[in-house]
């Protein structure tokens, strides 16, 4: 291998023979056409081997940046290597916005979309739901454009990098908006009884955080356009200063709180672009379950908190709206996400991951594609009604398996 490349977390060293950074789409097409096996590396923020390859690893970071806002300001066309943090200033300057963002702006748009990355908000679809068109380079080096509503589109958007190289995406826009972020300390388990839908629906985006040292949630974060009423939030106290999602950590990298209004892109993520996001030394997992079973899921996690607490930095509960994208973790399901920021120790964390999956066994949980899970591939396949259609789409786009890797082979099952 020409150079040592790891993911952001450092738990994956990619096994590629060659690393390419094409400077144009034409150069990229040549790289793809020549490669026997290839994968694209986005910003490397996934925690498993989904981006790995034994062949050619292709970074699109060197492609010319595209931020073409349509004349009616309803969509923006972006290149396949751009990060949200690079895109949002252009949108802001034009008075437009994306409907939501993940907890951090550092991730590439194409990498986030292909794993159905999401923020929070009961009416907010994941970031892939903003995609109106997708432009791909197929295994033979030929370009393809798929628009919303066309056959295969709903399978291609959350495509796990399996259909080809995403060179551009067109995303839906909304008018720019302001958001205020409020943080409350110590939301008790009892406060959730009968109130969980109201708590999770109290803002445009709501997250609950616990380190499972007890059953009380350390923080509730509420992001909304209008001011919150003064005083406690379902018994939780307004925070007396800025907070980091991980209890006790300094809040320097967190976005502005205390209800100060600010632009959407400076409040919806928890973390600021100019700092290392989250803790910087971590692994992550997340499972999606049906929102109507949210309390059952939280209590199932409480039942294994002795296994979780020693290796978790924080567990975040958030919501995502249902969609129609075949491999979205939110496919036809109003969802609650159970996200874990673990310590950066795979061997210590894996037993806790397995304990969480066992606790959620009856809840039909769907693991986040880009994070750590131990669920076997057959079980994962069984959680997606359209999985067989997705496998057919992959075979049609990439018959020789150029974009396959060990992770995809395992997921798709049944050989090539």
Ligand X SMILES: Cc1cc2nc3c(=O)[nH]c(=O)nc-3n(C[C@H](O)[C@H](O)[C@H](O)COP(=O)(O)OP(=O)(O)OC[C@H]3O[C@@H](n4cnc5c(N)ncnc54)[C@H](O)[C@@H]3O)c2cc1C
Return residues touching ligand X (CB under 6 A). 8, 39-46, 50-51, 60, 80, 102-104, 107-108, 110-112, 114-115, 117-118, 160-161, 165-166, 277-278, 284, 368, 370
To the nearest whole angstrom, how small is the minimum distance from the Cβ of residue 173 to ligand X?
20
For 302, the enclosing helix (H) or strand (E) is: helix 294-303
Looking at beta carbons, which pairs linking 174-178 to residues 24 or more positions away fall under 8 Å? Answer: 174/96, 174/97, 174/98, 174/99, 175/95, 175/96, 175/97, 176/91, 176/92, 176/95, 176/96, 176/97, 176/263, 176/264, 177/97, 177/225, 177/264, 178/225, 178/261, 178/262, 178/263, 178/264, 178/267
Q: What are phi and psi of 164, to 5 degrees?
A: 155, -170
Residue 39 β-bridge partners: 57
- Token digits of residue 153: 């589109």
Cα–Cα dist 130/169, whole Å: 10
In the complex with ligand X, the residue whose CB is nearer, 110 or 355, is 110
CA-nearest of 115, 15, 19 to 61 is 19
In the complex with ligand X, the residue whose CB is nearer, 224 or 339, is 339
Strands 56-59 and 38-41: parallel
To the nearest whole angstrom, how small is the minimum distance from the Cβ of residue 165 to ligand X?
5
Cα–Cα dist 364/293, whole Å: 10
In the complex with ligand X, the residue whose CB is nearer, 5 or 355, is 5
Q: How many residues does the chain have?
A: 416
In the complex with ligand X, the residue whose CB is nearer, 78 or 202, is 78
The dihedral sign for the CA sequence 374, 320, 233, 341: positive
- The closest residue (CB) to ligand X is 111
In the complex with ligand X, the residue whose CB is nearer, 46 or 315, is 46
To the nearest whole angstrom, how small is the minimum distance from the Cβ of residue 183 to ligand X?
17
To the nearest whole angstrom, how small is the minimum distance from the Cβ of residue 404 to ligand X?
11
- Token digits of residue 404: 């396959």
In the complex with ligand X, the residue whose CB is nearer, 109 or 191, is 109
To the nearest whole angstrom, how small is the minimum distance from the Cβ of residue 246 to ligand X?
11
Burial class (CB in 10 A: 0-12, 13-18, 19+), 64: exposed
To the nearest whole angstrom, how small is the minimum distance from the Cβ of residue 114 to ligand X?
4
In the complex with ligand X, the residue whose CB is nearer, 111 or 155, is 111
To the nearest whole angstrom, how small is the minimum distance from the Cβ of residue 190 to ligand X?
28
In the complex with ligand X, the residue whose CB is nearer, 147 or 237, is 147
Residues 227-265 as b or e (16 or more Cβ within 10 Å = b): eeeeeebbebebbeeebbbbeeeebebbbbbeeeeeebb
Residue that has been written with the tokens 């949210």 in this structure: 294
Per-residue HEC secondary structure of 156-219 comes to HCCCCCCCCEEEEEEEECEECCEEEEEEEEEECHHHHCCCHHHHHCCCCEEEEEECCCCCCEEE
In the complex with ligand X, the residue whose CB is nearer, 139 or 191, is 139
To the nearest whole angstrom, how small is the minimum distance from the Cβ of residue 237 to ligand X?
25
To the nearest whole angstrom, how small is the minimum distance from the Cβ of residue 159 to ligand X?
7
In the complex with ligand X, the residue whose CB is nearer, 108 or 218, is 108
SS3 283: strand
To the nearest whole angstrom, how small is the minimum distance from the Cβ of residue 83 to ligand X?
7
């Amino acid at each position: 291998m020409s150079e040592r490349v790891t993911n952001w977390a450092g738990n994956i060293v990619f096994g590629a023979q060659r690393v390419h950074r094409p400077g144009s789409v034409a150069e990229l097409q040549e790289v793809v056409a020549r490669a026997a096996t290839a994968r694209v590396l986005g910003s490397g923020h996934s925690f498993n081997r989904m981006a790995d390859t034994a062949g050619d690893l292709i970074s699109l970071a060197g492609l010319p940046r595209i931020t073409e806002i349509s004349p009616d300001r309803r969509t923006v066309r972006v290149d396949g290597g751009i990060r949200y943090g690079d895109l949002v200033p252009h949108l802001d300057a034009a008075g437009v916005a994306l409907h939501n963002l993940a907890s951090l702006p550092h991730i590439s748009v194409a990498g986030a979309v292909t794993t159905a990355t999401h923020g929070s908000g009961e009416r907010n679809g994941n970031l892939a739901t903003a995609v109106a068109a997708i432009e791909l380079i197929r295994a033979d080096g030929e370009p393809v454009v798929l628009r919303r509503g066309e056959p295969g589109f709903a399978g291609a958007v959350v495509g796990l990098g399996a259909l080809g190289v995403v060179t551009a995406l067109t995303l839906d826009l909304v008018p720019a908006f302001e958001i205020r972020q409020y943080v409350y300390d110590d939301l008790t388990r009892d406060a959730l009884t009968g109130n969980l839908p109201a708590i999770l629906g109290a803002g445009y985006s709501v997250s609950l955080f616990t380190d499972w040292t007890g059953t009380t949630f350390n923080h509730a974060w509420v992001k909304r356009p209008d001011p919150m009423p003064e005083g406690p939030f379902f018994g939780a106290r307004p925070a007396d200063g800025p907070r980091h999602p991980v209890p006790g950590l300094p809040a320097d990298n967190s976005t502005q709180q205390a209800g100060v209004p600010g632009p959407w892109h400076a409040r919806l993520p928890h973390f600021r672009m100019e700092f290392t996001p989250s803790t910087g030394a971590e692994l992550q997992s997340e499972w999606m379950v049906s929102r109507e079973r949210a309390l059952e899921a939280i209590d199932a996690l409480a039942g294994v908190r002795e296994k979780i607490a020693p290796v978790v930095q924080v567990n975040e509960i958030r919501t995502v709206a249902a969609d129609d994208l075949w491999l979205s973790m939110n496919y036809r399901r109003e969802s609650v996400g159970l996200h874990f920021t673990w310590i950066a120790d795979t061997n210590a964390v894996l037993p806790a991951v397995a304990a969480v999956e066992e606790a959620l066994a009856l809840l039909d949980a769907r693991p986040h594609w880009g994070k750590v899970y131990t669920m076997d591939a057959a079980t994962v396949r069984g959680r997606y009604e359209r999985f067989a259609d997705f496998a057919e789409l992959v075979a049609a786009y990439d018959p020789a398996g150029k974009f396959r890797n060990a992770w995809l082979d395992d997921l798709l099952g049944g050989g090539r």
